[in-house]
Structure 1
Amino acid sequence: MRLVGENIEQGIYPVEQARRMAQEQNLDLVEISPTAVPPVCRVIDYSKFKYEQKKKTRELKAKQTKVVIKEIRFGPNTDDHDFAFKLKHAQEFLREGAKIKAYVHFVGRSIVFKERGEILLLKFAQALEDLAKVEQLPKLEGKRMFLYLAPKAIAPVKPVKPAAPKEAGKEAPKEPKPAPQPADNAAE
């Protein structure tokens, strides 16, 4: 087997000799690549190795972006002021990068007015057209009609460069410098 590790000369050793070398250093012999020819083993402190692996996975998990879904609830008879209020909140959520789950909740006999709910959600999606894209069009599930919106990727604003002169190859003529004035010798 091929043996690698700290304080060990890399090379091909018999299994017993590799075990003995690991025991002499009070370390563990761990098979890293069993499919290689010959198999690769490393002499390491296995508990420390496992701890560092856990630490790396924890750091990666912490760096992952978590998708936040905000819910906005409407009724089939939501008034204009309430609609505008909820629209304002939705715009804030989208600017923060959250997804939106907007739904119309039908209570009792209001399920008869499914069209009102669909029109309301489509109006909501259209009002947020510049900030969000529709992930799922209005769909009735039980007593609720859902609409899913995701924020659009906002491109970073680039600074505007000043316009280049028309004749970039030619230099502008320089103004002639005034000739130096002779000193006044009359004051002698």
Structure 2
Amino acid sequence: MGRRPFGKRRFHRKRNFIRKNEGIRVPEIRVIGADGKMIGVMPPAKALKIAKEHFLDLVEVSASARPPVCRILDFGKYKYEQSKLKKNKDKSKSSKVKEVKFRVRIDVHDYETKLKRAEQFLMHENKVKITLMFRGREMEHKNLGFDRVNQAVEDLKTMAIADSPPRLVGRHISVLLSPLPKSRRNPRYNLPNEIPELEELEDEDGLEEQEVEEELEIEEEGDGEEGDDSVEDSDKASPDQD
């Protein structure tokens, strides 16, 4: 049976591993007290003694610093707070922009169904892109499209706020809505205890937030003179209304 060749053994620290108390084995550390104030540089044994006198832990918070930085704190509480921060960070990373589409001549029932779905997405911390699409000669009545989109923004004001005014690009008008803080949300089209799980709402309209930002950037580049004229046209009265 062959022998393993001599060489340096590699030890891989576990990801997110936190050194604390007797596990901190370096000659010196920079210590921050429980009150957040700097105590100074000292051997880990001395810092650990101070921590134990206050029934707290000595926790390494910056291993890459020279010397490493450690804090005196309640390790259980620290772990909970770090876990909460990670959860919120992961949640924000996975956030998507959901798109709700309709047309100018949508009937009342379908319109309310669309807003009900928009509310459900907002309740799950998603942004919602409201998109109104024109068909054929409907483009002659852009003002009606803006009225419809602005009405949707108004009807969802208890749940979200528009990031910017609605804009006409090509054959559609769109606006991006961001959810209000949870304490201020008040759904109009859903009962609070009947909001379905996000998994049940997944559909082909789901867009990554980065995709929407890129799309908006492309739209801005392509607005040009046609986009300016379109916005001006939206303020003109419709021929049907004369």
The answer to whether the 8 Å contact 1:76/1:113 transfers is no
Match for 1:82 among 84, 91, 110? 110
Match for 1:26 among 2, 5, 8? 8
Q: Which residue of 1 aligns with 2:173?
A: 145
Q: Which residue of 1 aligns with 2:129?
A: 101
C-alpha distance in 2, partners of 1:97/1:62? 11
Offset, 1:52: 4.1
Question: Where in structure 2 are there 5+ consecutive unaligned residues?
Answer: 1-5, 17-82, 185-242
C-alpha distance in 2, partners of 1:81/1:61? 38
TM-score, normalization by structure 1:
0.51
C-alpha distance in 1, partners of 2:119/2:143? 25
C-alpha distance in 2, partners of 1:119/1:149? 16
C-alpha distance in 2, partners of 1:63/1:122? 32
C-alpha distance in 2, partners of 1:146/1:97? 19
Q: Secondary structure at the match of 1:137?
A: coil
Match for 2:149 among 93, 100, 121? 121
Offset, 1:110: 1.2
RMSD: 2.8
User: Per-residue displacement from partner, 1:101-154 (whole Å, max 9, x unpaired)?
Assistant: 011111222111111111011100101111101112210111110011010111
Residue 64 in structure 1 maps to residue 94 in structure 2: no
Q: Describe the shift of the 1:61–1:88 C-alpha distance in structure 2 as closer, same or farther (beyond 3 A).
A: closer
Residue 155 in structure 1 maps to residue 137 in structure 2: no
Residue 131 in structure 1 maps to residue 159 in structure 2: yes
Q: Secondary structure at the match of 1:77?
A: coil
C-alpha distance in 1, partners of 2:118/2:89? 26
Question: Where in structure 1 are there 5+ consecutive unaligned residues?
Answer: 1-23, 28-44, 54-58, 157-188
Bigger Rg, structure 1 or 2: 1
TM-score, normalization by structure 2:
0.40
Q: Describe the shift of the 1:106–1:61 C-alpha distance in structure 2 as closer, same or farther (beyond 3 A).
A: same
Q: Secondary structure at the match of 1:26?
A: coil
The answer to whether the 8 Å contact 1:102/1:146 transfers is yes
Q: Which residue of 1 aligns with 2:209?
A: none
User: Per-residue displacement from partner, 1:79-118 (whole Å, max 9, x unpaired)?
Assistant: 2221111111111111121111011111222111111111
**Amino acid corresponding to residue 109 of structure 2 in structure 1:** H
Aligned length: 109
**Amino acid corresponding to residue 154 of structure 1 in structure 2:** K
